[in-house]
Structure formats: structure tokens, C-alpha cells
Amino acid sequence: MSEHQITLPLSDGVIESLRAGDYAFLTGPVLTARDAAHKRMVETLAKGDSLPIEIRGEVIYYVGPTPPKPGQIVGSAGPTTAARMDPFTVPLLKAGLKGAIGKGGRGPEVARALHEHRAVYFLAVGGAGALLSRHIKAVEVVAYEDLGTEAMRRMQLDGFPVVVSNDVHGGDALSLGKAQWRRPG
Amino acid sequence: MREVHVDQIRNTVSRLCQEAACLLPEDVAGALQTARRREKSPVAVKVLDQIIDNASLAREEMLPLCQDTGTTVLFLDIGQDVHITGGDLRRALAEGVGAGYTEGYLRASIVDRPFSARTNTKDNTPPIVHTEIVPGDSVRIQVMPKGGGCENMSRFTIMLPAAGKQAITDFLLQAVDEAAGNPCPPIIAGVGIGGSAEHAMYMAKKALTRKIGDVNPDDESAAFEAELLDAVNGLGVGPQAVGGTQTALAVHVMTHPTHIASLPVAVNLQCHSARLKEAVL
């Protein structure tokens, strides 16, 4: 298990250096989107229209935060289940997406597409939304404001802890981890 | 006949919603510490450290433990010698949830028109309400904010009557293995066995309200729970599915007599952020 301090956006060199199961701290800008925003983005791309915000080179964090209390930058903001974004992820990778942050594993089609498009999927700890919010230094709604908690936001991360789940070499931390710790028989 | 006013119920539900979202129950916090001591995988230990630190931070600063503040599931045990006065109980419960989520800055995660427009109701209403009429003159209210990630991993089947323990074990193991990281392990697994289709799932959820460490009053079920927990932790899924020895904090079984033709089995998984708060009026 190596540890990486990563500055976003992800460079090709950094992407190639990551291995499934590595621990990393992300600093820099990400976009956020979850179910409803993904559906809209993919419908837009399918019509041949351009997205309200450029996603080439970006990392998308699957999150819908709680409302901030007065004086807070953001409420609790942990990852949601990535598998629900699977049906929408391949078109976004084709459009240049370089990374995603969520919880839980990805289906085989997304795993193949991550490899093909040289992009990485990171796991953040689900249910650690209070702690993770301390690693978010700025938030601004940038698209689909009508979606409320599901609106797309620009977040500035600072030392945000993640595990590399799917690397570009075909490695998958969940399969490797389970194989290592599964009791025989 | 003791009287309980709906205003008291509404205010209690509002307070419980806000406290439940931020204060991890002590039995769950203790079980996470135990899991942290037992876990062998270094990455999984880092995950558990984050989960434990998150609970401390949430408690100190009254922050929601998780951004998914859930579907609000309410369990009410209403004493048969209680007269509820002042208005409609169901409305008071919904108003309590609405106030709690709005005043507490909790996420509104409920959408109306589930198969079409999916319009957010803005205040997390309506809650899911389960009432039981019990002896006595008090009202017990339990608030369980249930996350979508773990609820989505629920399973139900009706087995052949003779299927027995092995088939139930295999069914639970398959559910937990395939759910992997989605229900946010280390989980608590609720298993409802017997009854009817809808009652089995009710029991699976109700079983999640039992404190970790409280022994199942039925000896046979208690022994089965220990076997199931050991088997689940042998899967290797681990915290957040990064691989490890601590996939579940507990397995809770609840049973009910069933039809000679049936063996209903329901699985309802709870995430490690097993939020639950109660009050007795």
C-alpha cells in the first residue's frame, strides 16, 4: 500500500502511477454529480449538445451534501454508491472524464472503459460525511441548480482521503482485497 | 386512560430526527472500536479509523454523520391505555419529521411520484410509520434514519419449507457478498425468518433496532446469529469492501411462526452509521 499526495487535475503521469489499493490524498478542484445530474448529462450528450460545464480532464465526486448550516462551507459530504452511475459513466469517459470518487465497486463495463480511456476510480469512505466535509474548502453550484442537493457543484478538495479502487492497469482493489482476506472453504 | 397530546409527539419526533442524524448510538460506537481492534487488513484499519473519527467529530459539533440522512422510519409502540389527543397522529409524525429535517439542516432525500416525476418533497416527508399496540400507558417512539445505499441491498425470498439453516445462511452470504461496498460495511444484517412475505421484511428491519450486544432472547436464534456473523466475516469483503476480516458488526435474527407451505426469509442491511434514537412519552 503506497500513499500519494495528488494535486488535481489528474495528470497522465499521476494516473499511470496509481495502483489499486493505494491510499491517496486529493487536493484541488472536482465537480460533483449524482443520479439526476448524470441522467441529464448523458441525455445531453446523446442529443449531440454540449454540457453546461466542460468535463474533459475532470474528476467527478458522487455526492449530494446536507445543506450547510449558517457559516459552514458545506454540510456533510460523503460519497454515494458509484454503481448507480455505471449506466451513465462510459459516455462521460468518452467525453474526457479522467476520474471519479464514490463508494462501492464498478461493473465490468465501467472497469473496461476506465482502462480504455485511462481514467481512475477512487473510493472514499461512505458514512464519513462529517469528517470528509473538513477536506472541502470551497463549494459553488455550477450547473443544474434546480436539482437541489443533486445540483452539480465545483468543490475544492484539500487532502481528501481516498483509496485507489480501479487503476488504469486493470487492477481492482475490491476484488484484490476480497481475494486476500476471504476465508478458504 | 392516559392522555398524550400530538404536540408532544411532534416535538419529540423533531428532536429525535436531529439527534439521530448526529449522535451514533453507543453500542454501535463500541462495536466499531472492537472491529478496529480485530481488523487485520491495514487499509481496512485506515477505513475504520475514518469511521470512528467521523463519529467523534459529528458528536462534538452536531454534524450529520452521513450526508444521506435517510428515509425516516418510525417505530411506535403505543400503549393500549393511551389516548392520543389534539389531532391526527400521522400528521403530527410527518410534521415532526419535516421540522426536524428543516431545522436540523438534514438532507431532504424523499421524492414523490417515484416512477415518474420523482419530485423532492423538500422536508423528507412522509416518514415510514410502523405502529404496534402494546400493553401499558406510554408511547415509545424510535426514529431510524435509513440510508438509501444499504436499503437498496435488501433481499427477500420464500424458500421451500425444508430448506433450513444452510439455505438461509447461503442466502445471507450471497446478499452481503454481492452488495459488497454498497451498503457501507461493516454492516449490521437484519434477518427476518417466517411469518408472511411482508412480515418477514418488517422483522428484518425491526431486528436492526436491537442494541448490538443485547442477546437474542431465543436461544436457538442467538446461536444461529453467532454462526451467521462468523460466516459473513469470512467473506473477506471488509470495511467499505476494501478487503478485511470485519464485514459485519452484528447479525440480528427475528422469527415468527409461518405457514406449513412456506419459509419466508428477508434480509435488511444497515450501514455502519446505524442511526437510531428513541424516547418514551
- Quick one: chain B helix, strand, coil %, rounded to 5? 40, 25, 35
Q: What is the pLDDT of residue A149?
A: 83
The 3-class SS string of A92-150 reads HHHCCCCEEEEECCCCHHHHHHHHHCCCEEEECCCCCHHHHHCCEEEEEEEECHHHHHH
Banded pLDDT at A10 (limits 50, 70, 90) = very high
What's the whole-number mean pLDDT along residues A164-183? 95
Check CB contact of B61 with chain A, cutoff 8 Å: yes
Q: What distance in Å separates the CA atoms of residue A26 and residue A3, rounded to the nearest whole number? A: 11
Q: Who among B47, B69, B240 is closest to A66 (CB)? A: B69
Report chain B residues whose CB lies below 8 A from the CB of A163: 43, 47, 240, 242
Q: What is the pLDDT of residue B30?
A: 98
Report chain B residues whose CB lies below 8 A from the CB of A81: 148-149, 152, 181-182
Check CB contact of B173 with chain A, cutoff 8 Å: no
Taking a C-beta distance cutoff of 8 angstroms, is the pair A167, A16 a contact?
A: no
What's the whole-number mean pLDDT along residues B147-157? 97
Mutation test of the interface with chain B: which of A2, A66, A146, choosing the one with the most B Cβ atoms within 10 A?
A: A66
Taking a C-beta distance cutoff of 8 angstroms, is the pair B186, B212 a contact?
A: no
What's the whole-number mean pLDDT along residues B62-76? 97
B105 and A68: CB-CB below 8 Å?
yes
What's the whole-number mean pLDDT along residues A39-50? 95
B242 and A149: CB-CB below 8 Å?
no
- Reference A104, options A132, A131, A130, A123; nearest CA is A123
B63 and A23: CB-CB below 8 Å?
no
The chain A residue lying nearest B60, using CA atoms, is: A130
Q: How distant is the Cα of B200 from the closest Cα of chain A, in angstroms?
A: 26
Q: How distant is the Cα of B102 from the closest Cα of chain A, in angstroms?
A: 9
Which stretches within chain B are classed as H helix? 6-22, 26-38, 42-61, 89-103, 148-151, 164-179, 197-206, 219-233
Report chain B residues whose CB lies below 8 A from the CB of A132: 54
Mutation test of the interface with chain B: which of A23, A132, A178, choosing the one with the most B Cβ atoms within 10 A?
A: A178
User: Tens of pLDDT along A70-97?
Assistant: 999 999 999 999 999 999 999 999 999 9
What's the whole-number mean pLDDT along residues B101-124? 96
Cell of B86: 389534539
Average pLDDT, chain B: 97
Q: What is the pLDDT of residue A148?
A: 84
- DSSP class of residue B107 equals -
Q: What is the pLDDT of residue A2?
A: 87
A125 and B68: CB-CB below 8 Å?
no
Q: What is the pLDDT of residue B168?
A: 98
Check CB contact of B213 with chain A, cutoff 8 Å: no
Q: What is the pLDDT of residue A70?
A: 94
Q: Give me the residue spans of the domains in chain A.
A: 3-181
Identify the CATH assignment for A3-181 out of 3.30.70.100, 2.170.270.10, 3.30.1330.90, 3.20.130.10: 3.20.130.10
Mutation test of the interface with chain B: which of A23, A72, A76, A121, choosing the one with the most B Cβ atoms within 10 A?
A: A76
B105 and A130: CB-CB below 8 Å?
no
User: Tens of pLDDT along A97-148?
Assistant: 999 999 999 999 999 999 999 999 999 999 999 999 999 999 999 999 998 8
Q: What is the pLDDT of residue B208?
A: 98
CB-based burial label for B30 (10 Å; 0-12, 13-18, 19+): middle
Banded pLDDT at A162 (limits 50, 70, 90) = very high
Check CB contact of B182 with chain A, cutoff 8 Å: yes
A127 and B65: CB-CB below 8 Å?
yes
- Collect all residues with Cβ–Cβ distance below 8 Å to A19 and sequence separation of at least 6: A2, A164, A167, A169, A171
Q: How distant is the Cα of A148 from the closest Cα of chain B, in angstroms?
A: 9
A149 and B107: CB-CB below 8 Å?
yes
Taking a C-beta distance cutoff of 8 angstroms, is the pair B106, B21 a contact?
A: yes
ipTM summary value: 0.94
What's the whole-number mean pLDDT along residues B176-197? 97
Could you give all domains of chain B from N- to C-terminal order, each with its CATH number?
Answer: 2-22+65-146 (no CATH), 149-273 (3.30.1330)
Q: Is residue B42 over pLDDT 80?
A: yes
Report chain A residues whose CB lies below 8 A from the CB of B149: 80-81, 103-104, 126
Q: What distance in Å separates the CA atoms of residue A14 and residue A59, rounded to the nearest whole number? A: 13
Q: Is residue A1 over pLDDT 90?
A: no
What's the whole-number mean pLDDT along residues B84-95? 98
Report chain B residues whose CB lies below 8 A from the CB of A133: 63
* Sheet hosting strand B128-134, strand order edge to edge: B128-134, B71-79, B139-146, B277-280
Q: What is the pLDDT of residue A11?
A: 96
Q: What distance in Å separates the CA atoms of residue A116 and residue A118, rounded to the nearest whole number? A: 6
